[in-house]
Amino acid sequence: MLAKRTGTIIKISGNMVSAEFGTFVIQNEVAYILHGKERLKAEVIRVRGKIAEMQVFENTSGIKVGEQVEFSDELLSVELGPGLLGEIFDGLQNPLPALAKECGFFLKRGVYLEALKSDAQWDFTPLVRPGDMVRPGEKIGFVPEKIFKHYIFAPFNLQGPQEVISVAGEGKYNLKQPICRLRDANGRESEVNLVQSWPVKVPIQAYTEKLKPIEPLVTKMRLIDSLFPVARGGTYCTPGPFGAGKTVLQQLTSRHAEVDVVIIAACGERAGEVVETLKTFPKLTDPRTGKPLMDRTVIICNTSSMPVAARESSVYTAVTIAEYYRQMGLNVLLLADSTSRWAQAMREMSGRLEEIPGEEAFPAYLESRIASFYERAGLVRLYDGSTGSVTIGGAVSPAGGNFEEPVTQATLKVVGAFHGLSRERSDSRRYPAIDPLISWSKYWSFIDEKEAKRGHDILRKSNEVAQMMKVIGEEGTSLADYIDYLKGDFFDFVYLQQNAFDKVDEATSADRQKYVFNCIYEILNAVFSFASKEEAMHFFQQLRQLFRGWNSSPWESGEFLKTEQEIRGFLKQNIAVDKEVAHA
């Protein structure tokens, strides 16, 4: 065993510490600052001559020049294995509830606990036999974790095909016990445990190919699924000014989205919001499985008052865990709130490194970092032929609510769907506050393309008329235009908006969306013969009321059918010609 490589601190500025080293250092390796009895974790981020510059994941108060640094030889990594689901970690994968037991109310610096309980017992079932050949990332066996089969893989970091020398039989094992021995072509042997570690900044690439995401990921949010869909394995972003409801939107998505596993990365945001998630999720049941929602959730939580450098690593920790569950053939959704805070963490570090600043002092590599993060999403074909996916949804908090700023712009370049939240919509209590006039999606929706286009068109037309009416008043608007305005408003009100406090209305299944959209399509295309604007307005007001009741009646219930009959009857009385309108 080689002696540990060490260094001596020569400079401290905020959370950046520089140390002079003896032999060599590795870029991005983990180092520990030895301060009295404390060992503070840090990461090497730049090397100049014999000086290694490190970002420290802790408060640096009290650190002195001359103190020792120990280099660890390892890149910043996470532990991957059974026990991740339902857990709450900080950005460095410290389990927060265990930390609370150990240290009480406050996060004591320099205390690092094991991410996964090494003495927990798991029921292992092997899938390979001695003599079998496996590639790194192929299945060796599985253990049951919550509702899933948690597969154990040949370590991702091995090189080339491996021969199985021995494998443990069915039975209970903890994370420390070896369950398999492998030998590579050069005769080098390695041991496999239920847990393996992987560097967070390197994507896991144990798959045969990356596929084009085509299947829609149903979020049960009508505005998203019908008009601006997200695909399984795709990426999307939700920028919005403060108070526009980014977090509420993400919370509801995390509850209702049709995926197997949800990873929530609370990155540099309010602690209170995370608390709400972590106190309510264990009590909420997942409608798909009947089990607590927490069983399919992993929370990575590095809130705004926790150390900044760990905030930067938290999104990588989250995406690595997401990739790991993808390897099991599961559909994973990663929700990052907010990627702007992550970008700001990069900016802070870049400032301390005295790099030449780019736009708004963000580092020049901002765009490439954002791009490579979102590129870790994807639908992949695994070695056994099955598929798995990671979908990434990132909230963006643009300064001043201005979408021109660098983080929003860099994000828009790489994502497949854009859900822009507007202050105007949230102020007028329209939920979700996604503005249909600025949002877009490159993915395919289960709603017929022609019908969806009609929806987009009427919204645009309606908005034009509304703008016009502000200038010339209602009197100067033609009846035809006025009806288009009412149609757009009606579509927005009864379909795009949802009541987040109504048990039924808060989540709409794909089937129901298709069905209702069809009905609305008919109304949008219908020709009405109203005598006056008052009559038109009155008609749509009544129709609205009916739809409101329809929206809150359970799918295919008696109430649902009854209201539908009422609506159809009401329409029949008022629609003059039941044919499609030609429209531009």
Q: Determine if 12 is a binding residue for other proteins (CB under 8 A).
A: yes
Identify which of residues 347 and 376 has a Cβ nearer to other proteins in the complex: 347
Within 13 Å, how many C-alpha atoms sit on residue 583's CB side? 20
Q: Residue 521 and residue 131: Cα distance in Å, rounded?
A: 61
| Contact set for other proteins, span 309-368 (CB under 8 A) | 341, 344-345, 347-348, 351, 354, 357, 360-362
Identify which of residues 169 and 473 has a Cβ nearer to other proteins in the complex: 473
Q: What is the CA radius of gyration of the chain?
A: 27
Identify which of residues 14 and 178 has a Cβ nearer to other proteins in the complex: 14
Q: Residue 557 and residue 554: Cα distance in Å, rounded?
A: 5
Decide if 308 contacts 15 (C-beta within 8 A).
Answer: yes
Reduce the DSSP state of residue 21 to 3 states and report it. Answer: strand
Q: Determine if 62 is a binding residue for other proteins (CB under 8 A).
A: yes
Size of the site for other proteins (CB under 8 A): 62
Reduce the DSSP state of residue 34 to 3 states and report it. Answer: strand
Neighbours of 364 (CB within 10 A): 12
The single-letter code of the amino acid at 211 is L
Neighbours of 328 (CB within 10 A): 21
Identify which of residues 289 and 532 has a Cβ nearer to other proteins in the complex: 532
Q: Which of 1, 2, 61, 186 binds other proteins (CB under 8 A)?
A: 61
Identify which of residues 111 and 576 has a Cβ nearer to other proteins in the complex: 111
| Contact set for other proteins, span 261-290 (CB under 8 A) | 268, 270-272, 274-276, 278-280
Q: Residue 500 and residue 342: Cα distance in Å, rounded?
A: 28
Q: Determine if 107 is a binding residue for other proteins (CB under 8 A).
A: yes
Supply the minimum distance, in Å, between the C-beta of residue 405 and other proteins.
9
Q: Residue 195 and residue 127: Cα distance in Å, rounded?
A: 17
Decide if 268 contacts 345 (C-beta within 8 A).
Answer: yes
Q: Which of 74, 189, 424, 427 binds other proteins (CB under 8 A)?
A: 427
Decide if 499 contacts 431 (C-beta within 8 A).
Answer: yes
Q: Determine if 554 is a binding residue for other proteins (CB under 8 A).
A: no
| Contact set for other proteins, span 287-306 (CB under 8 A) | 301, 303-306
Q: Which of 4, 73, 103, 375 binds other proteins (CB under 8 A)?
A: 103
Identify which of residues 486 and 520 has a Cβ nearer to other proteins in the complex: 486
The encoded tokens of residue 121 equal 């017992």
Q: Determine if 308 is a binding residue for other proteins (CB under 8 A).
A: yes
Reduce the DSSP state of residue 461 to 3 states and report it. Answer: helix
How does strand 209-211 pair with strand 196-199? unpaired
Identify which of residues 285 and 402 has a Cβ nearer to other proteins in the complex: 402
Q: Determine if 99 is a binding residue for other proteins (CB under 8 A).
A: yes
Residue 96 CA to its chain's centroid (Å): 20
Q: Determine if 185 is a binding residue for other proteins (CB under 8 A).
A: no
Q: Residue 351 and residue 328: Cα distance in Å, rounded?
A: 40
Identify which of residues 116 and 194 has a Cβ nearer to other proteins in the complex: 116
Which string of x and - marks every residue 368-407 that binds other proteins (by CB under 8 A)? -----------------------------x-xxxx-----
Q: Determine if 545 is a binding residue for other proteins (CB under 8 A).
A: no
Q: How far is CA 275 from CA 88, 263, 445, 575, in A?
A: 11, 15, 34, 51
The encoded tokens of residue 217 equal 């990921």
Identify which of residues 43 and 90 has a Cβ nearer to other proteins in the complex: 90
Q: Determine if 13 is a binding residue for other proteins (CB under 8 A).
A: yes
Q: Residue 494 and residue 487: Cα distance in Å, rounded?
A: 11
Which residues lie near other proteins (CB under 8 A)?
Answer: 10-14, 59-66, 88, 96-97, 99-100, 103-109, 241-243, 268, 270-272, 274-276, 278-280, 301, 303-306, 308, 341, 344-345, 347-348, 351, 354, 357, 360-362, 397, 399-402, 427, 473
